[in-house]
Structure 1
């Protein structure tokens, strides 16, 4: 059949979104254990599927979700590069291990970028893994001189 559909995620996709998020962390070498975060992630996705400030996309191949991507409008103080103070954070770009190298992740990324453009917001940001840098750079992303830093509270 080989039918590929790129669409907004639906309630029936949430288990797959959580599993792909787990795979994203696994492929980054991060810990993936614990059911609490997965249950919280499930509820988080459910709560945001129909929220206009979130664009959550799924790529389905022959009825199976193979990739996803997500965008979220963030509120921030205005700045020279973002005069209206809002930007879009792209995240959760992941492809199932058995589907990598077939363009599914690129299709999910394209869908979320199209959604981001439709918001009318002028700036988009993402955190790139080494394996994802190429596709992002081809889409106009550049490394920031001030990379993200984190601390646990």
Structure 2
């Protein structure tokens, strides 16, 4: 695992990140509605437009992107004691299937949490798959009785 590095994605790696996202959807839900060739340029454009609110951490081995995790950053309403407030949400954590079950997902989680600390975020949440709950728990995520969610959309996204 010494040859694996987690770091913020570089602009030229966004196409590889888009391919990971497409593969993930294919793995979970079957063939996506768009082709990989259609999805990649749209995703790369989205990632460039959203870089102030959505930051991508990649896991790289020998210049090959083998995993990703996104940190969505939200500005929070100012507080009289702390005016500038932000929170984060870990999204789209994915490691290639052939690279799994060796602690690499945990390495990505640690890297994203370190990034969140460096950015001064108050808290970080995650909506996890059943398979990954234990990994997030091992890295400090806890169930909160005060964090609630309402499903309001009709999307099929994962």
Cα deviation, residue 61, structure 1: 1.4
Check whether the contact 1:78–1:86 (CA below 8 A) recurs between aligned residues: no
Ranked by relative contact order (alpha carbons within 8 Å, sequence separation 6 or more), the top structure is 1
Cα deviation, residue 78, structure 1: 5.8
Structure 2: gaps (5+ residues): none
Q: How does 1:1-153 map to 2 (within 5 A)?
A: 3-29=3-29, 32-35=32-35, 37-49=39-51, 51=52, 53-77=53-77, 86-145=86-145, 146-152=148-154
Distance 1:19 1:55 in 2: 17
**Alignment RMSD:** 2.9
Q: TM-score, structure 2 length as denominator? A: 0.77
Cα deviation, residue 128, structure 1: 0.4
SS at match of 2:29: coil
Q: TM-score, structure 1 length as denominator? A: 0.79
State the aligned residue count.
149
Check whether the contact 1:89–1:126 (CA below 8 A) recurs between aligned residues: yes
Distance 1:37 1:63 in 2: 22
